Amino acid sequence: MIDPLDFYGTRLSSRLLLGTAQYPSPAILAEAVRGSGAGIVTVSLRRESGALRSGQDFWQFIRGLGARILPNTAGCHSVKEAVTTAQMAREVFGIGWIKLEVIGEADTLQPDVFGLVEAARILSADGFEVFPYTTEDLVVAERLVEAGCRVLMPWGAPIGSGRGLNNVFGLRAMRAHFPGIPLVVDAGIGTPSQAAAAMELGYDAVLLNTAVAKAGDPALMARAFAMAIEAGRLAFRADPMEPRDMAVPSTPVLGKALLA
């Protein structure tokens, strides 16, 4: 049985976080969430008309999925925009969790780490519990922790790229440097094997969206990711053997018969 996960004092049985964008239909999204067993779903808030109550049906649908909601500031390119979006999300959903994104580069969607730290400091001071989408840079991570973040979410690769873990060395170093901070690989995971590899590094969870939403069968792919993440976590806890340069026989040679 996979061990529980703790985010800001909230315990969760699943280590898979699932995004809710790009699915062919709400019904398929619901099937994927059920197939994944995800304890958290992320939602991008858009500025809807308050008078027309536009978007309310979707928010009610998201609430009905049975998973905890993690609003995000996807698409924000400035500190002011990200902070305002976070405040709007708290009003809509009535929760203080926020996945903080401040995008700095259009082609890679790489975070603006300077704006990210500033926004994290503002939101933490305002009572938010911040989940920052960041890089694997240790200095930036230190600044985010100093700003009040108790979870870090480094990217594996650019959002939606499916390239997996581009910098295994950097991700491993981050895990070693922050042994007591929950770490989530966020973005770039394309296959269950890549998710398992992240968990085998000792990461606490994986956040997915495109790899499930764009699969031929999103519900089946979500289930495959859930199984891979559990397998990777169990493998990490089991303390895998170290790689070797030379072969080592698995059958002992002591006592082997000598043939003349």
Catalytic (active-site) positions: 99
Cα–Cα distance between 173 and 166 in angstroms, integer?
Answer: 14
Cα–Cα distance between 204 and 14 in angstroms, integer?
Answer: 10
Does residue 188 have a known ligand-binding role?
yes
Nearest to 99 by CA among 114, 84, 113, 82: 82
Category of 9 on φ-ψ map: left (φ > 0), alpha (ψ -120 to 50) or beta: left
Does residue 72 have a known ligand-binding role?
no
Does residue 210 have a known ligand-binding role?
yes
Q: Where are the beta strands (DSSP E) in 49-108?
A: 68-72, 97-100
Q: Give the side-chain half-sphere CA count within 13 A for 74.
A: 16
Paired tokens of 55: 């978007």
Residue type, 138: L
Angle between helices 26-36 and 56-63 in degrees, nearest 10 = 20
Angle between helices 138-146 and 168-177 in degrees, nearest 10 = 40
Category of 244 on φ-ψ map: left (φ > 0), alpha (ψ -120 to 50) or beta: beta
Nearest to 61 by CA among 28, 87, 85: 28
Which residues, at least 6 apart from 192, have a Cβ–Cβ distance to it below 8 Å?
Answer: 221, 224, 225, 227, 228, 229
- Annotated binding site for 1-deoxy-D-xylulose 5-phosphate, which residues? 160, 187-188, 209-210
- Annotated binding site, which residues? 160, 187-188, 209-210
